[in-house]
Structure 1
Amino acid sequence: MKKIILAASVLFVMSCATNPFTGAKTMALVNDNSLFPSSFQQYDAFLKEHKVIKGTADAKRVENVGKKIRAAAEKWLDAHGYKGYLAQYQWDYNLVDDKEVNAWCMPGGKIVFYTGILPICQDDAGIATVMGHEVAHALANHGQQRMSAAMLQQAGAEVLNAATTNSKAQTKDLLKAAYGGGSNVLGMLPFSRSHESEADKIGLTLMAIAGYNPDTAVAFWSRMGAQSSGGEPAEFMSTHPSNQTRIDNLKRLIPEAKAEAAKYGVKF
């Protein structure tokens, strides 16, 4: 048991990497060389199974805003000594015909917007709010971290199973249930909420550098909150911060985003 725990600890320390956007050491049990190809394959498979909209005004808007957010990220990285950091990214921006209010960016820069979110975006600034947030998830390596965390959670379950080999079946079941619930509520869910807050902060800065007023992010998330009609779960049981928590955080971060954009000649 001690050897297992020691090996897991050493692996954890050795697999940590510092992310330039957050300045924090993050889990990287899966490296980009294996993560990106898998991500690209999943993305291509998704596009084949869904109706991709090409050539329309909305599709062009999503692509144009995406390219501006990408340029903002590269500009920020170049200024901070990370030129070429995104060399392995294969950026792509697609609008998919789906009523779901959603958008996402896979590791490596593969982006999808659903048509259902565009009415809430309303304009390019709204699209930039969403685009900045989703791109930030990829830039901060959140997908990589979630996979690493899931691997550690599974490893913990295996250690628990080994430690309770000689325990009664009822005791083992109770301990497994406690571990599963506890590791989610106290570990995985807060971990996910912290990613959302990180993506909000990074996304706000990127949209500002790209020339979109970060003040508009508050209006967008207010519309998102109204769209949910109060149906969101309690924050501690959710993968996302509550809409009000998110809005309060954004208001606090907006001056910082504007100050960062001003360094690149963008003023509001």
Structure 2
Amino acid sequence: MFSRLIRAALLAATPLSVSAAPVPANDAQRGLAALQAMDARVAAVGERLAVRGAPLCGDRQMRSGLLVHGLAQYAPAARADAAALFGLGDAPAVLAVVPGSGADRAGLQAGDAIIAVEGDDVATATAPQGAARFDAVQRVEDRIEAGLADGALSLTIRRDGRERAVRVTGDEGCASRFQMIPATRLNASAGPYVSVTSAIVEFVASDDELALVLAHELSHNILKHGARLDRQGTSRGLLRAFGKNPGRIRATEDEADRMALYLMARAGYDIAVAPAFWDRFGRRTGFGMFSDRTHSGRRDRMALAVREIALIRAQQARGEAPTPDFAGR
């Protein structure tokens, strides 16, 4: 896992329909549009895992299926193209709307400018100021999340020059956000944002494999692995490869591999993809992230997946909802 990066580069929105998609005018905008499709995919798969996996989560929240972006998060050199392609101004705007979510039911669309949240003016909340930064967008997302806590959210949006009031109802789900970070390294991380790099999105062969990666990171949040390692005094920095650190970290990674399959099964994804994915992923990454013994090797991850899949299949055959029985749940 890696520390969460600020989404300061190229992020994009998911349209509710093909007809709503912006048309790129140059190579830079085509790059933004390509990332738009990746972001939409991550949002949809993540939301499905979080909502359908809610019974396995201790910490839950009302989820809108709405993601936000703003001009401030783009690098200065990319702002003109982002503004032209997505219609961004000083106000935050809809980055993605997950199909079937509360935001979708409310009729929100990618490109809608968000003028107010629960009556609080945010019309200039993401105006660009110098270097790219994501904190302004994150504060808007925080306000949206807080406003939805009682199940319904009031927004004022601007579309085609007209302002309108919108009421969004939420769906209960696991308390994590999902994001895609443009990067060439195969990587993913847990935390307030479950993050995957664009390289991961390009590497996975299906939404089932993407669900496996996202569910693995979501599992770290559900099982509170960060807090556990902190209580143990486990170093996750430069000293992670020494002493008891590798074994403690590896135990959480194995648990996340296992828990991910239960989340996938509840969300209707094909858990059978796991062994082959870990084989392919392990061969691709080689000695990289596994050289410090903080992760099980390729063959061990494959074998662990095979064993856990058999347990899940047995539960399903008995008509039971897939539920893990290991400690830490």
Distance apart, 1:222 and its partner CA: 1.3
CA distance in 2, matches of 1:91, 1:120: 23
The structure-2 alpha-carbon separation of the partners of 1:218 and 1:53, relative to structure 1 and needing over 3 Å to count, comes to farther
2:220 to 99, 119, 137: 137
- Gap runs ≥5 in structure 1: 1-41, 154-179
State the AA in 2 paired with 1:149.
Answer: Q
Q: Give CA-to-partner distance per residue, 1:166-197, whole Å, 9 cap, x none.
A: xxxxxxxxxxxxxx98x964411100000010
CA distance in 2, matches of 1:203, 1:125: 11
Contact 1:54 1:95 in 2 (8 A): no
Aligned to 1:10: none
- More strand per residue: 2
CA distance in 1, matches of 2:241, 2:288: 21
Aligned to 2:21: none
User: SS where residue 215 of structure 1 aligns?
Assistant: helix
Aligned to 2:60: 86
The structure-2 alpha-carbon separation of the partners of 1:124 and 1:48, relative to structure 1 and needing over 3 Å to count, comes to closer
Moved over 6 A (4+): none
State the AA in 2 paired with 1:74.
Answer: A
Equivalent residue pairs, number: 184
- Gap runs ≥5 in structure 2: 15-35, 62-148, 150-173, 323-329
Distance apart, 1:136 and its partner CA: 0.3
1:97 to 182, 203, 217: 182
Aligned to 1:149: 232
Return the TM-score normalized by structure 1: 0.60
CA distance in 1, matches of 2:315, 2:266: 7
State the AA in 1 paired with 2:312.
Answer: A
Identity among equivalent pairs (%): 22
State the AA in 2 paired with 1:117.
Answer: I
Contact 1:69 1:207 in 2 (8 A): yes
Q: Give CA-to-partner distance per residue, 1:223-255, whole Å, 9 cap, x none.
A: 102212455655xx4111111111111111111
1:208 to 240, 259, 265: 265
User: SS where residue 232 of structure 2 aligns?
Assistant: helix
Contact 2:176 2:221 in 1 (8 A): no
The structure-2 alpha-carbon separation of the partners of 1:245 and 1:187, relative to structure 1 and needing over 3 Å to count, comes to same
